[in-house]
Amino acid sequence: MTLAGTVILDRDGVINEDSDDYIKHPDEWIPIPGSLAAIAALHQAGYRICVATNQSGLSRGLYTLQTLAEIHDKLHQAVLREGGRIAWIAHCPHLPEHQCDCRKPKIGLLEQINAVHPLNADTDWMIGDSATDLEAAQSFGIRAALVESGKGTRELAAGRVSRETTPVFRDLAGFTQWLLG
């Protein structure tokens, strides 16, 4: 199958339900209805799926790298059961005050993905539920879309993202349906 492009997904609020208290255990990782089928459809249509996720709960001591690996294993297994595949997950463990290069809106996570799976501005997308996701994509030079799931509706209401300049979809399933026609 020919590669159609890469779709990079934020995790919390795009793939799974978000929580202001963080996703600290695999039992708290609950997929948004339709998101796993959307990932599978993208994969089956020839898109490589990657994830770029800020995970400051690590630095806050809310969970360990082992727990994060267990959460991501649950994600991988759930996607596989739907007929999809996630090629790569990049995460930032830092707090905002650490001023690292990987925490979105900086582009370090996208650079990590690009080092393994070269990105193409003509075919690739970043899908997020926050302005920081979109800023990272735009700074890196790939297209971006907002989903209203997770924090997306709040971002729109607060004026941090504009429907005038950004494609906006109800959720990942809506984006996928649009992209695949």
Catalytically active residues are 10, 12
Strand ranges across the sheet with 125-128 = 88-92, 47-54, 5-9, 125-128, 143-147, 168-169
Nearest of 91, 9, 76, 78 to residue 42 by alpha carbon: 9
Note whether 33 and 78 are within 8 A (CB).
Answer: no
Tell me which H or E stretch contains 113: helix 108-116
Cis upstream peptide for 96 (omega within 30°): no
Measured CA to CA, the distance from residue 63 to residue 85 in angstroms comes to 25
